Amino acid sequence: MIKKETTEMIGKKYDRLTALELVSAKSLGKSGTSLYVKCACDCGKEIYATTTAVRTRNTKSCGCLRKDVLIKRNTDSITHGCSKERIYNIWRGMIGRCKNNKNIVFKYYGQKGIKVHNSWLDFLSFKKWALKNGYNDKLTIDRKDYNGNYTPSNCRWITQAEQTRNTRSNRLITIDGETKCLADWATESGINYITILSRLNRGMNPKDAVSVRRLKRAFCVKVFCVEKNKTFETISVAAKELGLHKEAISACINGRAKSSGGLHFEKVIT
Q: What is the CATH number of the domain that holds 255?
A: 1.10.10.10
For the chain, give the mean pLDDT: 82
CB 58 within 8 A of CB 14: no
Same domain, yes or no: 26 and 12: yes
Same domain, yes or no: 130 and 79: yes
CB atoms within 10 A of CB 180: 15
Same domain, yes or no: 35 and 87: no
In a domain, 101, yes or no: yes
Q: What is the pLDDT of residues 128-146, one digit of tens each?
A: 999 999 999 888 888 888 7
Same domain, yes or no: 195 and 224: no
Residue 253 is predicted with a pLDDT of 84
Task: Name the residue among 206, 205, 216 with its Cα closest to residue 186.
Answer: 206
In a domain, 164, yes or no: no
Same domain, yes or no: 240 and 208: no
Going through 169-246 in order, the beta strands assigned E by DSSP cover 172-175, 178-181, 223-225, 230-232
In a domain, 166, yes or no: no
In a domain, 261, yes or no: yes
Question: What angle (nearest 5°) sits at the alpha carbon of residue 48, between those of residues 45 and 49?
Answer: 120
User: Which range has the worst mean pLDDT, 68-82, 95-109, 200-214?
Assistant: 68-82
Question: Average pLDDT in the 262-268 region?
Answer: 88
Same domain, yes or no: 73 and 47: no
Residue 198 is predicted with a pLDDT of 81
In a domain, 165, yes or no: no
Residue 72 is predicted with a pLDDT of 64
CB 143 within 8 A of CB 157: no
Q: Kind and range of the H or E element at 141?
A: strand 140-143
Higher local confidence (pLDDT), 172 or 97: 97
DSSP 150: B
Q: How far is CA 35 from CA 11, 28, 31, in A?
A: 16, 10, 11
Same domain, yes or no: 69 and 151: yes
Q: Kind and range of the H or E element at 158?
A: strand 155-158
Q: What is the pLDDT of residues 165-193, one digit of tens each?
A: 665 455 677 777 777 777 777 777 778 87
Beta pairing, strands 13-14 & 17-24: antiparallel
Residue 129 is predicted with a pLDDT of 95
CA terminus-to-terminus distance, the chain:
73
CB 39 within 8 A of CB 23: no
The SS3 call for residue 169 is coil
Question: Average pLDDT in the 231-260 region?
Answer: 86
Domain limit, last residue, from 62, 81, 98: 62
Same domain, yes or no: 72 and 14: no
Q: How far apart are CA 197 and CA 131, in angstroms?
A: 30
10 Å CB burial of residue 189 (0-12, 13-18, 19+) is middle
Higher local confidence (pLDDT), 219 or 89: 89
CB 163 within 8 A of CB 157: no
Q: Kind and range of the H or E element at 22?
A: strand 17-24
User: Which range has the worst mean pLDDT, 177-181, 241-245, 250-254?
Assistant: 177-181
In a domain, 32, yes or no: yes
Same domain, yes or no: 137 and 82: yes
In a domain, 24, yes or no: yes
In a domain, 11, yes or no: yes
Question: Confidence band (pLDDT; 50, 70, 90) for 1?
Answer: low
Same domain, yes or no: 95 and 149: yes
Higher local confidence (pLDDT), 70 or 231: 231
Question: Average pLDDT in the 237-262 region?
Answer: 86
Residue 71 is predicted with a pLDDT of 65
Q: What is the pLDDT of residues 20-34, one digit of tens each?
A: 998 888 888 888 888
Same domain, yes or no: 263 and 179: no
Q: How far apart are CA 99 and CA 64, in angstroms?
A: 11
Same domain, yes or no: 80 and 51: no
Q: Which domain holds residue 255?
A: 219-267
Question: Confidence band (pLDDT; 50, 70, 90) for 149?
Answer: very high
> For the chain, what is the domain count?
4
